[in-house]
Amino acid sequence: MSAIKYQDQVRLLLDILPAVAEEECFALHGGTAINLFVRDMPRLSVDLDLTYLLLEERETTLANIADALKSIQARITAKSPEIRVSVDERRAKLLCGRRRIQIKVEVNTTMRGALGDPEMRVLCEQTQETFDRFAEMRIIPIGQLYGGKICAALSRQHPRDLFDIKYMLQTSGFDDNIKRGFLLCLLSGDRPMHELIRPELIDQRATLENHFEGMTQEPFSYGQFEETRSTLIATVTNKLTETDREFLMSFKQGEPEWDRYGFADFEKFPAVQWKLKNIRNLKESNPTKHREQMGELKQSLTGARPSA
């Protein structure tokens, strides 16, 4: 996609953002939170990824998310009738379009709740100046924000994610706050933990060319992509303490020792409980596969590096 189309998507995003921000049950996570609010727009970002902040029963949550999305839809169409807005309740998503430009607003229905209080942030200066817009939005806590970005980068290995990680490694680094957020997101994902800690490397040359170029004026070659990915994998492994490793193994065993290892605040998250339930089900229904995954996790935590 061309830089002009990406810019048009950002304009549309900024035009609907105030309507989204009125729903206090949501906070922003993902690339837009990082690049348009936390950083000074090192790259463009064209979707709104939302975290539902309340911890409720799933059916109540889904109903409340659907109501909130319908309220956002009503605000957008009342203020900007030229913007087309459709609600996909099943996927907890809004599709917003203007002329030939479309963006999505998507709520993560699994990873609900925040690791601390969200922070109200103002749109970064570069975005304000470039697009002549002003906006405020709740952003999930920095540790959880980058923890989720790290998990995304290790899972799908998209150049957008690794570009964001490059900036993180150059500035804050993988500090204890971000590590804690990473561990929370690791325990909240649907993939086995060892697949993120020691991922199979994906060739993303075509993705870099077709779905990243035009998002930034800063060069980001495939060599830089590979270097950032390798650095991230090594950093994650090296920063995990023996306590972290023991806790992850206890979780994979299906018997997490929350208090002993200092992770009692993780227990309340629905996504963590869902993953734990699946682990226990696997242990009971297929103990051989569970033992294999235990071994793979233990091996990944030893620091063995993936092959190219």
Quick one: pLDDT band at residue 2, thresholds 50, 70, 90? confident
Instruction: Say whether both 173 and 130 belong to one domain.
Output: no
178 part of a folded domain: yes
Range of the domain at 45: 3-140
**Which of 105, 140, 175 is at the close of a domain?**
140
Q: Which two tokens stand for residue 119?
A: 């922070």
What is the structure's pLDDT at 1? 64
What is the structure's pLDDT at 305? 43
35 part of a folded domain: yes
**Which residue in the block uniquely carries the two structure tokens 């233990």?**
298
305 part of a folded domain: no
Quick one: pLDDT band at residue 211, thresholds 50, 70, 90? very high
307 part of a folded domain: no
Instruction: Say whether both 149 and 270 belong to one domain.
Output: yes
Query: pLDDT by residue (tens digit) across 125-152?
Result: 999 999 999 999 999 999 999 999 999 9
249 part of a folded domain: yes
- State the CATH number of the domain containing residue 102: 3.30.460
**Which of 140, 172, 198 is at the close of a domain?**
140
The pLDDT of 68-80, averaged and rounded, is 98
Query: pLDDT by residue (tens digit) across 5-58?
Result: 999 999 999 999 999 999 999 999 999 999 999 999 999 999 999 999 999 999
Instruction: Say whether both 129 and 17 belong to one domain.
Output: yes
Torsion of CA 122, 125, 130, 135, to 10 degrees: 10
Torsion of CA 293, 294, 296, 302, to 10 degrees: 160
Instruction: Say whether both 176 and 128 belong to one domain.
Output: no
Quick one: pLDDT band at residue 302, thresholds 50, 70, 90? confident
Instruction: Say whether both 136 and 150 belong to one domain.
Output: no
Number of structural domains the chain divides into: 2
pTM: 0.95
**Which of 77, 107, 140 is at the close of a domain?**
140
Instruction: Say whether both 237 and 261 belong to one domain.
Output: yes
Instruction: Say whether both 157 and 291 belong to one domain.
Output: yes
Which distant-in-sequence residues (6+ apart) come within 8 Å of 110 by Cβ? 188, 190, 270, 271, 274
Query: pLDDT by residue (tens digit) across 248-267?
Result: 999 999 999 999 999 999 99
17 part of a folded domain: yes
303 pLDDT more than 90 = no
Q: What is the 3-state secondary structure (H, E, C) of the chain?
A: CCHHHHHHHHHHHHHHHHHHHCCCCEEEECHHHHHHHHCCCCCCCCCEEEEECCCCCHHHHHHHHHHHHHHHHHHHHHHCCCCEEEEECCCCEEEEEECCEEEEEEEECCCCCCCCCCEEEECCHHHHHHHCCCCEEEECCHHHHHHHHHHHHHHCCCHHHHHHHHHHHHCCCCCHHHHHHHHHHHCCCCCCHHHHHCCCCCCCHHHHHHHCCCCCCCCCCHHHHHHHHHHHHHHHHHHCCHHHHHHHHHHHCCCCCHHHHCCHHHCCCHHHHHHHHHHHHHHHHCHHHHHHHHHHHHHHCCCCCCCC
121 part of a folded domain: yes
